[in-house]
Amino acid sequence: MSKLFFTKEEKLAIENNVLRESNLSMQIQLLVNDRQALITDFCKRNSQKTEDVLGVNVQEGSVEFRESVPSGKKEKESKLKKVDLTGEGKN
């Protein structure tokens, strides 16, 4: 096995690159956490369970939920329910 070393400048550039990547990863995680908190607050405000969220349509401004299934019915028969994020009443 052989080992070669970076120049000081190359090592610094690599280290900076790794640090920037790590910073971006943390920023992405913060954004994901913020988005999840917004969805959780929205669910609470609209008396919905976060585990029933099927999807969020940002362009449309809506959240799609799985409706609760009455006992005796199969999951496949559950209906979907859309809730408007904008508060304008459009579905």
Q: What does the pLDDT look like over 73-90, one tens digit per residue? A: 555 444 556 666 665 554
Residues 6+ apart with CB under 8 A from 66: 52, 54, 78, 80, 81
Higher pLDDT, 88 or 50: 50
Residue 89 lies in a domain: no
The residue-averaged pLDDT of 52-77 equals: 78
Residue 91 lies in a domain: no
Residue 21 lies in a domain: yes
- For 16-43, write each residue's pLDDT tens digit: 999 999 999 999 999 999 999 999 999 9
Residue 48 main-chain phi, psi, to 5 deg = -120, 155
pTM greater than 0.85:
no
What domain range is 39 assigned to? 8-84
Residue 20 lies in a domain: yes
Residue 38 lies in a domain: yes
Q: How many domains does the chain have?
A: 1
Q: What pLDDT score was predicted for residue 30?
A: 97
Residue 18 lies in a domain: yes
